[in-house]
Structure 1
Amino acid sequence: MANRILILGGSGFIGNALYREFHSYFEVQATYCHQHGAFSENQVFHNYCVEEDSLFLLLNKIRPTTIISVLNGDFKCQLEAHQQLVNYVLINPKCSVLYVSSAAVFDAKHRHPSFENDVPVSETKLGKYKIAAENLLLGNIPSQTSILRLPLVLGINSPEIVHLRQCMRHHATFEVFPNLVISATTINKVCQQVHYIINKALRGIFHLASNDMIHHDELFKEIASKMGDKMPIFKNVFNSNEDRYNAILPKINKLPNPHQITVQQVIEECSLNEEIISIK
């Protein structure tokens, strides 16, 4: 049976990158919300808004064998949608789920980086929702679930790097956090890693992050310095008097070396100049 992939949230930055990564290799369909009307002409994109529509009906219509969830929207509605997803997978035992989670599940832990088997603790609405969604999937369909936790995801066309280029061009203010220690990755690496996880049918919790860490301000200052001579006005924002960690690191479920990334590689990829971007 051919692998039929459905990407929930295919109109977003990460979801659309995954669609472009997979559509040449698999039968891929995706969802978009009606705010993104540009996708309405695409025959494999389905209009689905988490606050309004039934996910169970959509799943029964498309009959995917792999579901990648990168949904956005109201957290309560998202959780209800993932309960409908669970109900679908329970009666379709050959279906697998890749849930794209976040480093936010550890945002109440400040003293150390976090690894795959650490207990999530969050103090934000986003982090608490992500924990609830992870628990829902792992508690009901653990053998069919992969949890993909992401750090800060950058790339030449990522929102943060586009904003940084604009601030450099106009000598505008760009906020950085000198006391925040993070890990990072690029959208290209995430797509490569998810492709590998699907091909190998891997299950469990994965931290798709760099093997090392960096201070938030150092990351963006180094990217900016490699981009060109113009610099933005870096505005230092201090949320504490000492270093706080919002970093996830791979340890237990490390992917093979070609599918790993370092902070330096993130910096190199993000600092490609606009001439190279236009050629691509």
Structure 2
Amino acid sequence: MKRILILGASGFIGNALYKELCSYFDTHGTYHTSNSFFESNHQFHHFDMETENVEILLENLRPDIIISSLRGGFEAQVSTHFAIINHILTYNSKLIFISSANVFDGFTNYPSYEYDKTLSQSIYGRFKIKIENALLRLPNHQYNIIRLPMVFGKSSPRIKQIKAILDLEEPLEVFPNVVINATEIQKVTQQIHYIINREKQGVFHLGSTDLVHQRDFVSDICTELGYSNPLFKNVYDSNYDRFLAVLPKDNKLPANLQITIHQIVEASTSL
């Protein structure tokens, strides 16, 4: 049985991945903030990347696959990932790196595909690119780069934020000229499970197959959540449509693992 270590398994994406994979693999996870549930679960290990070296944990567990969904200081993340790369080269294991559509936020005229050149104007996007570039120098079988757009779901932080703002009757910022795609957490975990099972290699864009203006998408979410007249604050950062979307071209998944904007809205707002 493959041993999988999820770094950041107490977070939104990492914990959903743990729940998806733990019945099929010897799955371990890390947590940072003290929590009685994680502390009592022997499959979870405390890890603070600001003060600890990940090499000790990796040497003790010797995972076949490391999934990184870490959050935190960028410098600590970079040094942690470079230590992981040294480990997987030594033990011929694999890293699945959860990246972001923001590695393309410097390109605004069209959606981006798996092997397009990356360019970011944001600190967050540039930090993701630095780790991606290190992975792209590895043998293909030793990494996956998983680029995600905004991730939604019934208990997702984004849905909770929308509800909190609207419940306070405050304006919700929307971007009428930004064209996006998105995804939903349960579909993401199924997709990554498939990538692991089939031993897929390379870069994957796990966003919806269709695109939508961000304001229209948020409006649909609000309507389905039961907010009939939400207050929007329209933010225009361009006179033209600006794209922030990741679409698959080289590494497409089977039809049953694809998702549409309509399905994301339904899955994120259902009771």
TM-score by length of 2: 0.96
Per the alignment, residue 151 of structure 2 pairs with: 153
1:156-171 mapped onto 2 (5 Å cutoff):
156-171=154-169
Matched residues in 2 for 1:35 and 1:177: separation? 37
Distance 1:108 1:75 in 2: 19
Structure 2 residue aligned with 1:115: 113
- 1:41-85 Cα distance to aligned partner (Å, 9 max, x none): 222111111111111111001110111011111112111111111
Alpha-carbon distance change, 38 to 174 in structure 1, aligned in 2, over 3 angstroms: farther
Alignment of structure 1 residues 191-202 onto 2, 5 Å:
191-202=189-200
Moved more, 188-197 or 173-182: 173-182
2:13 aligned with 1:11: no
1:96 aligned to which of 94, 97, 105: 94
* Alpha-carbon separation, structure 2, partners of 1:231 and 1:71: 37
What letter is aligned with 1:221?
S
Identity in percent: 44
In 2: Cα distance, 1:162 partner to 1:193 partner: 24
> 1:166 & 1:73 partners in 2: Cα distance?
24
Partner of 2:70: 71
| 3-state DSSP of counterpart to 1:91 | helix
Secondary structure of the 1:140 match is coil
Q: Which residue of 2 aligns with 1:105?
A: 103
Is 1:51 the counterpart of 2:54 in the alignment? no
Distance 2:69 2:196 in 1: 15
The Cα offsets for residues 73-112 of structure 1, whole Å up to 9 and x where unpaired, read as 111211111111111111111x221111100100100111
CA deviation after TM superposition for structure 1 residue 38, in Å: 5.0
Alignment check: 8 A CA contact 1:89 1:141 kept: no
RMSD, matched Cα: 1.4
> Which consecutive residues of structure 2, in runs of 5 or more, have no partner in the other structure?
none
Q: Which residue number corresponds to residue 212 of structure 1?
A: 210
Residue of structure 2 in register with 1:172 after alignment:
170
d(CA) in 1 for partners of 2:37 and 2:231? Answer: 35
- Counterpart for residue 251 of structure 2: 253
> Does 2:270 align with 1:239?
no
AA matched with 2:29: A
Q: Give the superposition deviation at 1:128.
A: 0.6
2:127 corresponds to: 129
- Residue 232 of structure 1 deviates from its aligned partner by 2.8
Aligned-partner residue type, residue 70 of structure 2:
L
User: For residue 34 of structure 1, what is the amino acid of its counterpart?
Assistant: T
SS at match of 2:137: helix
Please, which of 182, 203, 225 is the counterpart of residue 227 of structure 1?
225
Q: Deviations over 1:223-248 (max 9, x none)?
A: 11122254431111122222111111
- For the structure 1 residues 36 and 232, does the alpha-carbon distance in structure 2 shift closer, same or farther, using more than 3 Å as the test? farther
Paired letter, 1:213? L
| Structure 1 contact 8–15 (Cα < 8 Å) conserved | yes
Distance 2:14 2:227 in 1: 33
Letter in 2 for 1:256: P
Partner SS, residue 110 of structure 1 = coil
Q: How many residues in Structure 1 have an aligned counterpart in Structure 2?
A: 271
CA distance in 1, matches of 2:229, 2:60: 51
Q: 1:255 to 1:58 in 2, by over 3 A?
A: same
3-state SS in 2 of match to 1:235? strand
SS of residue matched to 1:212:
coil
- Give 1:178 shift: 0.9
